[in-house]
Amino acid sequence: MAKEKSVYICNHCGYQSSSYLGKCPECESWGSFEQVAISNNSTQKKTTKTNSKSQPIPIHQVIYKQENRIDTFDKELNRVLGGGLVLGSVVLIGGEPGIGKSTLLLQTALSLNSSSVLYVSGEESPEQIKLRQVRMNINSEKCLLLSENNVENIIETAQNINPSLLIVDSIQTLTSLEAESFAGSITQIRICADKLIDYAKSCRVPIILVGHITKDGSLAGPKILEHMVDTVLQFEGDKNYGYRILRSIKNRFGSTNEIGIYEMTSFGLKAVENPSQILMTQRDENLSGISTCATMEGRRSLLIETQALVSPSYYSSPQRVSNGFDIRRLNMLLAVLEKKAGVKVSNKDVFLNIAGGIKVSDPAIDISVVASILSSHQDVYIDKHSCFAAEVGLSGEIRPVPYIDRRIKEAENMGFKKIYLSKYNKDVLETNVRIKPVYLANISDLINNIMV
């Protein structure tokens, strides 16, 4: 009788060890090893030896052919993918539970009415998917539903149907006969993904895979899964708000500097063509603690409202709460204000919120955060027709940011009259702008201009 062996595999990078390790020596992650049983009778792939081998080719002799793409009839999805789905490509999309991944993909499948789509679900029954389709009120005769967990059966069905697009929801629910572990384990995910990728490349059928995420926001399963696929998309947003952002993390056929913005409605996801108008709070009066930042998400310019509240602290340790902005960077900006501008906030509670429930990592929002904090601290309002775009350094200097012309154009389109910039952006700024630029060298200049 064959004796079973077991190995320990890191679910982040796939590193194997004969014994359990607390810390992975490859990716240095803690508690990531999982025990996997390996049988000597397990099916192994046979390698075929051939006498032919590849020869090096001069790069100028390589013939480039434009990849054919499938139009998804979704402007935001096409933008993130780089123009549509490439034939034979494999796309992995991840996001929190209930964020709208299945809604987005079913909406895409129903929109391709001229092409056959095979929608495979290992989590929902066809009746549950039908209920979502009725809510969307989109009819399609080309969308086929399949409730199946076995990857071999899925590929066999796809080969018989020969669809134009295969959607699998989700990769963590699939199993293969070649592995004896449970669904969602490292071995099962790697084998199932490998089989689906082989089918996509050999039959030139694009595949979209849905991936679960862990509690820290990363895609569940081995890290090698993200290396195996062609494109990795992240669907994110706050479920308490109606807005979603589709962000490209990896794309072999396009840029990773593109995002798609959606609004969740009772009829499904709706593409947002003018996100600045939606993300900004509609108000008629000037209020303290509120400023507007001309930020960049990928290659799209957005105007986002920054809200701050500074109040006396009644605790031994003042509170620092941030929603949509890195709390560590907030603490850094507060330290700069205290040290370089003499603004006493060490004994104050500071609450910061980015309107719309989205997360912003663009450094250009620094000056808007500082302006909002100063406005709330002094209870002085900032003109609602002014916006900001600059980075704040540790020495209190106002640093320049890229794509300043796109930021100014968006601000002009939204009716803003003034924009605060770094003085080092003056040389790259176009002369024929309708908005008035105000150039700043340090935080003291900012205080002198807005605290009036």
State pLDDT tens for residues 377-433: 999 999 989 999 999 999 999 999 999 999 999 999 889 999 999 999 888 776 678
Give the number of other CB atoms < 10 A from CB of residue 389. Answer: 32
pLDDT tens digits for range 222-269: 778 898 999 999 998 877 777 888 999 999 998 888 889 898 888 889
Could you tell me the pTM of the whole model?
0.79
Residue 273's pLDDT band, with cuts at 50, 70 and 90, is confident
pLDDT tens digits for range 341-359: 999 999 999 999 998 778 8
Between residues 298 and 363, the one the model is more confident about: 363
Counting DSSP H helices and E strands in the chain, the numbers are 11, 23
Concatenated DSSP letters of 353-400: EETTS-----GGGHHHHHHHHHHHHHT-B--TTEEE--EE-TTSBEE-
pLDDT higher than 80, residue 270: yes
Between residues 191 and 218, the one the model is more confident about: 191
Reduced to 3 states (helix: H, G, I; strand: E, B; else coil), residue 77 is helix
Give the number of other CB atoms < 10 A from CB of residue 36. Answer: 19
In the sheet with 165-169, reading across from the earlier edge strand, the strands are 143-147, 117-121, 165-169, 207-211, 90-95, 231-236, 243-251, 259-265, 268-271
Alpha helices in 241-300 (DSSP H): 275-279
What is the separation of C-alpha 74 from the centre of its chain, rounded to a whole number of angstroms?
Answer: 17
